[in-house]
Amino acid sequence: MATSSDTEICGFIGLGLMGLGMANNLLNKRKHHLIIWNRDTSKSVDLAAEFPGRVTVASTPKEVVATAQVTFSMLSTLEASTAVFEGPEGMLAGVGPTTSIVDCATLTPERMAEMAALVEGKGGIFLEAPVSGSKAPAEQGTLIFMCAGNKVLYERVSEDLDAMGKAKYFLGTVGAASRMKIVVNMTMGGMLACFAEGLGLAKAADLPLGDLLAILDGGACSCPMFQLKGPKMLQRKYDTAFPLKHAQKDMRFAVELGDKLAQPLPVAAAANEVYKRARRHGHDDHDFSAVAEACMPPQVVKGEASNDKAVNGKSERP
Amino acid sequence: MATSSDTEICGFIGLGLMGLGMANNLLNKRKHHLIIWNRDTSKSVDLAAEFPGRVTVASTPKEVVATAQVTFSMLSTLEASTAVFEGPEGMLAGVGPTTSIVDCATLTPERMAEMAALVEGKGGIFLEAPVSGSKAPAEQGTLIFMCAGNKVLYERVSEDLDAMGKAKYFLGTVGAASRMKIVVNMTMGGMLACFAEGLGLAKAADLPLGDLLAILDGGACSCPMFQLKGPKMLQRKYDTAFPLKHAQKDMRFAVELGDKLAQPLPVAAAANEVYKRARRHGHDDHDFSAVAEACMPPQVVKGEASNDKAVNGKSERP
Amino acid sequence: MATSSDTEICGFIGLGLMGLGMANNLLNKRKHHLIIWNRDTSKSVDLAAEFPGRVTVASTPKEVVATAQVTFSMLSTLEASTAVFEGPEGMLAGVGPTTSIVDCATLTPERMAEMAALVEGKGGIFLEAPVSGSKAPAEQGTLIFMCAGNKVLYERVSEDLDAMGKAKYFLGTVGAASRMKIVVNMTMGGMLACFAEGLGLAKAADLPLGDLLAILDGGACSCPMFQLKGPKMLQRKYDTAFPLKHAQKDMRFAVELGDKLAQPLPVAAAANEVYKRARRHGHDDHDFSAVAEACMPPQVVKGEASNDKAVNGKSERP
Amino acid sequence: MATSSDTEICGFIGLGLMGLGMANNLLNKRKHHLIIWNRDTSKSVDLAAEFPGRVTVASTPKEVVATAQVTFSMLSTLEASTAVFEGPEGMLAGVGPTTSIVDCATLTPERMAEMAALVEGKGGIFLEAPVSGSKAPAEQGTLIFMCAGNKVLYERVSEDLDAMGKAKYFLGTVGAASRMKIVVNMTMGGMLACFAEGLGLAKAADLPLGDLLAILDGGACSCPMFQLKGPKMLQRKYDTAFPLKHAQKDMRFAVELGDKLAQPLPVAAAANEVYKRARRHGHDDHDFSAVAEACMPPQVVKGEASNDKAVNGKSERP
């Protein structure tokens, strides 16, 4: 099996919350020369300055694709992805018979299939590779890649994926990876909504919320997400690892996927509406743990944060 | 602080899935003599045979309470608890000025307050102490005790609780512990319903379910519950650690607690209906992970289990 | 079949929103002498003054039941009903071998069965007879009676029921009528929540709400409830025909009945949570159409009512 | 105001459940010559035969638009509409500076705006005009038109709309009418799901379903939809006036519109999942009242229809 040579030129498009960490790992763990593009050029320039002689800043997405042997793209929304993919200076315009594209965004399965067809229509090959994990795993190289599409390309970039992630899965034809990602994020989003409702009910019942976190963490529900976000949620601090508007978008994708498959998802559908309520309260760009704001009794949400007391429950351990 | 003497006579009522493990831990880790009662006498006799000279089998709950310095009770439902508590030979009939009762069942806050008032009306003292954890933690002595009521009694039994559990919390006046337990089980029940819907959507989308489990386990949602139950759910094996009918009862209690507090719980309410659907499909006495049966596409539920293939997804780790 | 004689003494307990209209109809359409009791005595005295020589004000519920040949009771909640039914001066204390009680309240099936058993235990007979219809139908004598229990009593009071209502149904053993009433109110409460969500979505989409009412009224959804309440909801006027807290109670009863029957009710459960949200916003004692307050976009709910414009849509009819 | 001349040539595209009735009304009540197109040509030929000399069968949608002064189109889905609108022989290909198009389909607001822009880009004018009402109102000329877009065109076709409907509303810029239609159908779909859950709960509680229909019809919830569909639902006869898959599509559109507006719709979202469940049970092409199949206890759904007894409840009216 041919794997990517360490001296190849690798493209990277999209240096946001996720992409920057991923590009850094490629540069640190692999020997690639990177050609990069980002909407906000200052991020590209900064990265080039950090890795002198190893990074070229392209002026268009087209240039990246036309130059690189393999191009990774990591864009945060369907709209951003479409804007960068299409148009005279977009990625597609740079596609030729030797092009390989690995798209790591969370899009719909339909859009992935459409992009794959367009790339293949010009002779290129395409791998869909959305990831599980947010900002910190992207920086730490512990993402999980869900891949589908061209199996040869999957094998060729396997060392690159290993540089950016801790696991990877090949799931079949294009669309399967996006569907898997939707399932994963639906489960995660639903879980966090359940947790937020638990906090809300405990607060309404005047129970010590800090004890609730400890009790949950001592049992079968203990998970990194609750450990990380729980204490911040009690303080109502929602610094953004995964924006709530994107979490809600993924819940919506899940409900729509259920639509296409005639698969009822009553819990996910209810959670989706709770995320919408949080969006309505102005939390679009906060972390998705701000879903708690849609679940707290009104005195908490409207009044001043007085959860310090609550955090400070009494617990004793043997 | 006075703690319980190691030579005291301790009562234990209810030797079911949970109670038997708890009583064993009391016998193994403490030096108490136990006086016990169980509806099915054979279990009591077996336990007495295992610990010769240390266990007395009482003929009525009343006898246990009248004899023991502290009585623990662990009954699985409101109906079972009421049947054992009331009546001429029930626990309450044995209560006097020196009686101490620690009730570990998951009941409503209202019922706990009522029982406490009845015990206190006859001069006794009462601690409500529902637990987080099912059969295995009961056996391993790793339960978590949520306590409320008489603080002196809480302190007096602290070494007993430590023998049966790994953590304990004192949460205030009677009712608070049951409310906390309801919140904990609501969160857990909601999470498992989200997980089950994720499995159902993945199945409907023809994705490899084994890979889904691995991807979830590699990320922020990784938790003992999914690790333990996930693989069994793929095999549709639901050996009972926590009966589904009790999980649904706790979801109902949560929705009712929300009623009393005018606290909306749309996700928990949706999950409650999914558990009801699983009950309707005949899973009352199966493990609550049988909620998956209410979330799977019909070909799976009705047809023969063909998940072996699904479990067997392709994954590679670096 | 023996029917009630026009000269008999008839008891009536509970002269609230519903009971007063019902008692008036009994007095106006029938020739009964009434012996009445109400918690607030002034209402009893007023009614006695309106019908000189035909109404006796009793000093206790017990006195009513002990004196009357048939006693109707119409109390608004389980708590009110229990308070009036039990105790040394309660209804039950007055029950003897010739007593007939017709209970028109909306209670749980379990409570109705319990009351019937208590009455029958003292030799009396019992008919459960909850009604469909709120204040106006009570006044106009156009209620619908759902009856269950003693069939002979049903036949005996048939002319009385006809004086107060426009239709009556005999549904079987005690409990059946309360269950039917729960189903009816669940359907009604769910419908109004759907309607409120429609208004909320139209408002969020900046559509003329008055036109929406007209369009709905022109089609298959046209119903007295939307006609009556729709225009008031646009003005955010919620004068109470049926208190929201009672509507939510009935949704809760429905969800609980579903629990007992393992019958999933996902839409009713979601609607129940919306009514809870309205309660949380302080609408317990407003009409249940105040559920709209839980469905409107925040600028509407928080800001000043600016729906006048919206009501004033443009429509033309041929 | 210029109104359409009675002798003008009017186009009509789409002769399905709805379109055929509408075209008949145009022919019967107006003096237009019609040029028509339908995917299944036999329907066009039949209509032409019924109105000799007044109907021309076009060979393509393009021909209709290029010939007619005003073209009405009534297609059942986004897919059907797109197929007929685009392509070398599609409607758009026939648009010129004198073209007027009135689109009566239920599409998304976004698609309507897109079509309007395409028509206007070629110099034509566009009115979006989705309808409330299904097969029977289409035949009887009692539809309700929700219109938006070109106001001059709205006025010009006002007599045509009056021939096909009993009311019409002009709601603003293109998209507003589709949004209103979505709100109307969401309300209707939610109501029917509530009704179906009521039937399901009554059935599970062993109550006479025929009495339930009568009780609902005697009260504030009485509406043509329940009157028409209720008795058929008890018989499990779902002859299609409005296909369930389209009803579910409209629920989905509503949930998506809520997404765009950050407007939570928990009841509609729950109802959407119930319609999905009905689709999963194979009712895509049945009437949307087949939602009852997703709400009935399993013995009813799986076994043979034994509702005759249920219909036959005992009722007496004064």
C-alpha neighbours within 13 Å on the C-beta side of residue B286? 20
C-alpha neighbours within 13 Å on the C-beta side of residue A34? 32
Q: What percent of chain A has pLDDT over 90?
A: 88
User: What is the SS3 assignment for chain B?
Assistant: CCCCCCCCEEEEECCCCCHHHHHHHHHHHCCCEEEEECCCHHHHHHHHHHCCCCEEECCCHHHHHHHCCEEEECCCCHHHHHHHHCCCCCHHHHCCCCCEEEECCCCCHHHHHHHHHHHHHCCCEEEECCEECCHHHHHHCCEEEEEEECHHHHHHCHHHHHHHEEEEEECCCCCHHHHHHHHHHHHHHHHHHHHHHHHHHHHHCCCCHHHHHHHHHCCCCCCHHHHHHHHHHHCCCCCCCCEHHHHHHHHHHHHHHHHHHCCCCHHHHHHHHHHHHHHHCCCCCCEHHHHHHHCCCHHHHHCCCCHHHHHCCCEECC
Query: Which residues 80-99 of B are in CB contact (within 8 Å) with A?
Result: none
Q: Choosing among B255, B260, B284, which should be mutated to test the C contact, i.e. which has the most C CBs within 10 A?
A: B255
* Out of A252, A264, A276, closest to residue D280 by CB: A264
Nearest-Cα residue of chain A relative to residue B177: A207
pLDDT at site B21: 97
Residue pair B26/B13 in contact (Cβ under 8 Å)? The answer is no
Rounded CA-CA distance D98/B285 in Å is 71
Rounded CA-CA distance A209/C220 in Å is 49
pLDDT (mean) for A28-41 = 95
Nearest-Cα distance to chain A for B220, in Å, is 5
* Pairs across A and B, CB distance < 8 A: 271
pLDDT band at B260 (very low <50, low <70, confident <90, very high): very high
A256 contact residues in B (CB cutoff 8 A): none
Residue pair C147/C27 in contact (Cβ under 8 Å)? The answer is no
Q: Partners for C (CB, 8 Å, 3+ pairs)?
A: A, B, D
Rounded CA-CA distance B189/B211 in Å is 23
Q: In sequence order, what are the beta bridge partners of C35?
A: C11, C56
For this structure, is B245 an active site residue? no
Nearest-Cα residue of chain D relative to residue B299: D280
- DSSP summary character for residue A158: H
Residue pair D204/D295 in contact (Cβ under 8 Å)? The answer is no
D145 contact residues in C (CB cutoff 8 A): none
pLDDT (mean) for B120-140 = 95
Q: What is the mean pLDDT of chain D?
A: 91
Contacts of A226 (CB under 8 A, 6+ apart): A195, A213, A216, A217
Q: Among candidates C193, C202, C194, which has minimal Cα distance to C297? A: C202
For chain C, the first-to-last Cα distance in angstroms comes to 55
Largest CA distance in chain D: 67
Residue pair D166/C163 in contact (Cβ under 8 Å)? The answer is no
Q: In which element (H, E) is residue D106 found? A: none
Quick check: C270 and D274 CB within 8 A? Answer: no
A281 contact residues in C (CB cutoff 8 A): 298
Q: Is D232 exposed, middle or buried (0-12, 13-18, 19+ CB in 10 A)?
A: middle
Q: CA separation (Å) from B96 to B9, B68, B81, B111, B151?
A: 16, 11, 19, 20, 19
pLDDT (mean) for A194-200 = 98
pLDDT at site C7: 67
Across A44-48, B33-37, B311-315, least confident range = B311-315
pLDDT in tens, C268-310: 999 999 999 999 999 999 999 999 999 999 765 443 333 333 3
pLDDT in tens, A271-290: 999 999 999 999 999 999 99
* Pairs across C and D, CB distance < 8 A: 270
Indicate whether C247 pLDDT > 80. yes
| Stated length of chain D | 318
Rounded CA-CA distance B225/B232 in Å is 11
Across A166-170, A275-279, B314-318, C149-153, least confident range = B314-318
Q: In sequence order, what are the beta bridge partners of D100?
A: D125
Q: What percent of chain C has pLDDT over 90?
A: 88
Rounded CA-CA distance B101/B119 in Å is 8
D190 contact residues in C (CB cutoff 8 A): 190-191, 193-194, 197-198, 267
Q: Which two tokens stand for residue C76?
A: 């608004």
Q: Which residue out of A43, A168, A181, A249 is catalytically annotated? A: A181
Quick check: A297 and C281 CB within 8 A? Answer: no
pLDDT at site D16: 92
Q: Is D45 helix (H, G, I), strand (E, B) or coil?
A: helix
Rounded CA-CA distance C299/A53 in Å is 54
Rounded CA-CA distance D65/D67 in Å is 5
pLDDT band at B8 (very low <50, low <70, confident <90, very high): confident
Nearest-Cα distance to chain A for D89, in Å, is 25
pTM here? 0.90
Contacts of C237 (CB under 8 A, 6+ apart): none
Residue pair D127/D169 in contact (Cβ under 8 Å)? The answer is no
Beta strands D143-149 and D125-128, pairing class: antiparallel
Nearest-Cα distance to chain D for A279, in Å, is 6
Quick check: D280 and B266 CB within 8 A? Answer: no
Nearest-Cα distance to chain A for C289, in Å, is 21
Q: CA separation (Å) from D167 to D73, D102, D109, D158?
A: 19, 16, 21, 10
Q: Among candidates A56, A61, A68, which has minimal Cα distance to A13? A: A61
Nearest-Cα distance to chain D for A169, in Å, is 30
Query: Which residues 249-288 of B are in CB contact (within 8 Å) with D?
Result: 266, 270, 280-281
D194 contact residues in C (CB cutoff 8 A): 186-187, 190-191, 194, 267-268, 271
pLDDT band at A305 (very low <50, low <70, confident <90, very high): very low
Q: Choosing among C106, C180, C187, which should be mutated to test the D contact, i.e. which has the most D CBs within 10 A?
A: C187
Nearest-Cα residue of chain C relative to residue D184: C216
Indicate whether A7 pLDDT > 90. no
* Out of C132, C198, C222, closest to residue D224 by CB: C222
* Pairs across A and C, CB distance < 8 A: 8
Quick check: A297 and C280 CB within 8 A? Answer: yes
Residue pair A108/A178 in contact (Cβ under 8 Å)? The answer is yes
Rounded CA-CA distance C301/B147 in Å is 41
Q: Which residue has the tokens 């309106």?
A: C50
pLDDT at site D1: 36
Q: What percent of chain D has pLDDT over 90?
A: 88
Q: Which residue out of C43, C181, C203, C229 is catalytically annotated? A: C181
Q: Which two tokens stand for residue C278?
A: 């309205």
Quick check: B281 and D270 CB within 8 A? Answer: no
DSSP C19-37: HHHHHHHHHHHS--EEEEE
pLDDT (mean) for B137-165 = 97
Residue pair D175/D128 in contact (Cβ under 8 Å)? The answer is yes
D248 contact residues in A (CB cutoff 8 A): 259
Quick check: B211 and A317 CB within 8 A? Answer: no
C318 contact residues in D (CB cutoff 8 A): 161-162, 165-168
Q: Which residue type, as a one-letter code, is found at position B141?
A: G
Q: In sequence order, what are the beta bridge partners of D238?
A: none
B293 contact residues in D (CB cutoff 8 A): none
Quick check: A166 and B218 CB within 8 A? Answer: yes
D256 contact residues in A (CB cutoff 8 A): 252
**B168 in A contact zone (CB under 8 Å):** yes
Residue pair B134/B104 in contact (Cβ under 8 Å)? The answer is no
pLDDT (mean) for A92-118 = 96
C276 contact residues in B (CB cutoff 8 A): 258-259, 262-265
Indicate whether D316 pLDDT > 60. no
Nearest-Cα residue of chain D relative to residue A250: D259
pLDDT at site C299: 64
D281 contact residues in B (CB cutoff 8 A): 298
Q: CA separation (Å) from B174 to B77, B130, B179, B180?
A: 18, 11, 10, 11
Q: Which two tokens stand for residue B246?
A: 């009790």
Q: In sequence order, what are the beta bridge partners of B22?
A: none
Q: In which element (H, E) is residue A242 found? A: none
Q: Where are the alpha helices (DSSP H) in chain D?
A: 19-29, 41-50, 61-67, 78-85, 109-121, 135-140, 151-156, 158-164, 176-204, 209-217, 224-234, 244-261, 266-280, 298-302, 308-311
Q: In which element (H, E) is residue D73 found? A: strand D70-73
**Signed CA dihedral, A16, A19, A23, A24: sign only:** positive
Q: Choosing among C110, C259, C260, which should be mutated to test the B contact, i.e. which has the most B CBs within 10 A?
A: C259
Indicate whether A158 pLDDT > 50. yes
Q: Choosing among B184, B201, B293, which should be mutated to test the A contact, i.e. which has the most A CBs within 10 A?
A: B201
Q: Which residue out of D43, D62, D181, D203 is catalytically annotated? A: D181
Q: Is B137 exposed, middle or buried (0-12, 13-18, 19+ CB in 10 A)?
A: buried
pLDDT (mean) for B161-168 = 98
pLDDT at site C124: 98
Residue B257's φ and ψ, nearest 5 degrees, are -60, -40
Residue pair D38/D13 in contact (Cβ under 8 Å)? The answer is yes
Residue pair C284/C245 in contact (Cβ under 8 Å)? The answer is yes
* Out of B171, B223, B274, closest to residue A222 by CB: B223
pLDDT at site D303: 37
Indicate whether D302 pLDDT > 90. no
- DSSP summary character for residue C286: S
pLDDT at site A299: 64
pLDDT (mean) for C123-135 = 95
Nearest-Cα distance to chain A for B316, in Å, is 6
Indicate whether B273 pLDDT > 90. yes
Q: Choosing among A1, A168, A169, which should be mutated to test the B contact, i.e. which has the most B CBs within 10 A?
A: A169
**B191 in A contact zone (CB under 8 Å):** yes
pLDDT at site D112: 96
In chain C, which ranges are E strands? 9-13, 33-37, 55-57, 70-73, 100-103, 125-128, 131-132, 143-149, 165-170, 315-316
Quick check: A280 and C266 CB within 8 A? Answer: no
pLDDT (mean) for D51-70 = 96
Residue pair A160/A26 in contact (Cβ under 8 Å)? The answer is yes
Quick check: D256 and A259 CB within 8 A? Answer: no
In chain A, which ranges are E strands? 9-13, 33-37, 55-57, 70-73, 100-103, 125-128, 131-132, 143-149, 165-170, 315-316
pLDDT band at D4 (very low <50, low <70, confident <90, very high): very low
pLDDT at site C61: 97
Residue pair B175/B148 in contact (Cβ under 8 Å)? The answer is yes
pLDDT in tens, B104-128: 999 999 999 999 999 999 999 999 9
Residue pair C225/C193 in contact (Cβ under 8 Å)? The answer is no
